[in-house]
Copies of this chain bind each other. A is one copy, B any other.
């Protein structure tokens, strides 16, 4: 078991009508609020009006239009400028993981005099950040319970993850009802995202019975509940359990003391969505089973066997290789069952830039140190298999 230094100070207010506590939470953080959100779905579900009504005693400045795979330019830069010009006290992110990730970059940038890209790329360590509160509308990324984010810079095809303990949300308000209107496509992508977060923590050299059990429980619950959510989008219990599962995805609680996997599928997927701006969860679902098949070997087979038996209930008396292959097939079949497009071509990616992406990933993602090390050649093979 590895040493670790862990903390997640975020307060989770979870459940129906949990938003009524928003004014109390915000009052302790200040008066001048930057409200960040995306394309307007929060207006359709009445959440925008509700937030404004609850915060009518606050001074609210708005940064709308934050896109999926949130962009450094204009969103982060605009947000930082607005915070500085308006002496913002607190950022209120209302939306999904992209709005939150963008808000985290803004929170750090607002307290820094230079180019915020310095912070995101760790050239400079952030010394302070504005506090962040969020009202979540999508179960997927886990950004509501971690201190990281991912920001894309279109002109350089960069999609960069950054983390800083200063960036834990102070409070995340999680009402599963706000996810009732999430489309089947986005529900499935959110499930795939959270499943992959779990898989990235499960396929490691050194784990524990406890963590393996936590991860297996996550995967089983996500599959059951996402399926229910897609069948009946207003199934409160399924939406709620899926939301809580996703919340645990990225803050480390599933793998304290495990060795580090290198998060290889994320490393690969980040290039896909940086180059083609695809839906992150779909990219992960496409990559995951191909990555699994590529790394299955004598050294890794025992993890696949455990995964197959405990997550998919595969007969433990079968030969190891058969269990492992059935487990990978079952992973693929599950993603297919929730209608995720399982080929890159279906999401608009052809072979034309595979070499370029494989090179970009090999240079930037450190996957030669992953649990199962990946060279540029390996990455290229996985991408070609995924076409």
**Residues of chain A at the chain B interface (Cβ within 8 Å):** 1-18, 21, 176, 208-210, 212-214, 216-218, 220-221, 224-225, 236-237, 240-241, 244-245, 253, 256-257
Residues of B within 8 A of A7 (CB): 9-12
Q: List 17 A-B contacts (CB under 8 A).
A: A1-B15, A1-B236, A1-B241, A4-B13, A4-B15, A5-B13, A5-B21, A7-B9, A7-B12, A8-B8, A208-B241, A208-B244, A209-B221, A213-B213, A213-B214, A213-B217, A214-B217
Residues of B within 8 A of A216 (CB): 213, 217
Complex Cα–Cα for A86 and B181 (A): 59
Are B6 and A14 neighbours in the complex by a CB distance under 8 Å?
yes
Complex Cα–Cα for A158 and B54 (A): 45
Nearest-neighbor residue (CB-CB) of A254 within chain B:
B214
Complex Cα–Cα for A220 and B208 (A): 11
Are B21 and A3 neighbours in the complex by a CB distance under 8 Å?
no
Nearest-neighbor residue (CB-CB) of A12 within chain B:
B6
Top-5 shortest CB links A-B: A213-B217, A3-B15, A9-B9, A7-B11, A210-B221
Are A213 and B220 neighbours in the complex by a CB distance under 8 Å?
yes
Q: A1-B240, A6-B11, A12-B256 are in contact. List 18 more A-B contacts (CB 8 A).
A: A1-B176, A2-B15, A3-B18, A5-B14, A5-B18, A6-B14, A7-B9, A7-B11, A208-B221, A209-B221, A213-B213, A213-B217, A213-B218, A213-B220, A213-B221, A214-B217, A240-B257, A244-B256
Nearest-neighbor residue (CB-CB) of A5 within chain B:
B13
Complex Cα–Cα for A11 and B147 (A): 14
Min Cβ gap A312→B in Å is 14
Number of copies: 2
Residues of B within 8 A of A16 (CB): 3
Nearest-neighbor residue (CB-CB) of A213 within chain B:
B217
Min Cβ gap A211→B in Å is 8
Residues of B within 8 A of A5 (CB): 11-14, 18, 21
Most chain B CB atoms below 10 A, which of A15, A18, A208, A253? A208
Most chain B CB atoms below 10 A, which of A216, A217, A218, A241? A217
Nearest-neighbor residue (CB-CB) of A175 within chain B:
B3
Are B214 and A220 neighbours in the complex by a CB distance under 8 Å?
no
Nearest-neighbor residue (CB-CB) of A248 within chain B:
B210
Within 8 Å by CB of A214, from B2, B17, B214, B224, lies B214
Complex Cα–Cα for A107 and B5 (A): 24
Residues of B within 8 A of A221 (CB): 208-210, 213
Complex Cα–Cα for A17 and B257 (A): 14
Are A217 and B225 neighbours in the complex by a CB distance under 8 Å?
no
Most chain B CB atoms below 10 A, which of A1, A5, A13, A176? A1
Are B256 and A253 neighbours in the complex by a CB distance under 8 Å?
no
Most chain B CB atoms below 10 A, which of A2, A4, A8, A213? A213
Residues of B within 8 A of A225 (CB): 209
Complex Cα–Cα for A1 and B217 (A): 17
Residues of B within 8 A of A213 (CB): 213-214, 216-218, 220-221
Complex Cα–Cα for A16 and B1 (A): 10
Residues of B within 8 A of A1 (CB): 15, 176, 236-237, 240-241, 244
Residues of B within 8 A of A209 (CB): 217, 220-221, 224-225, 241
Complex Cα–Cα for A216 and B21 (A): 33
Min Cβ gap A176→B in Å is 8
Complex Cα–Cα for A21 and B209 (A): 28
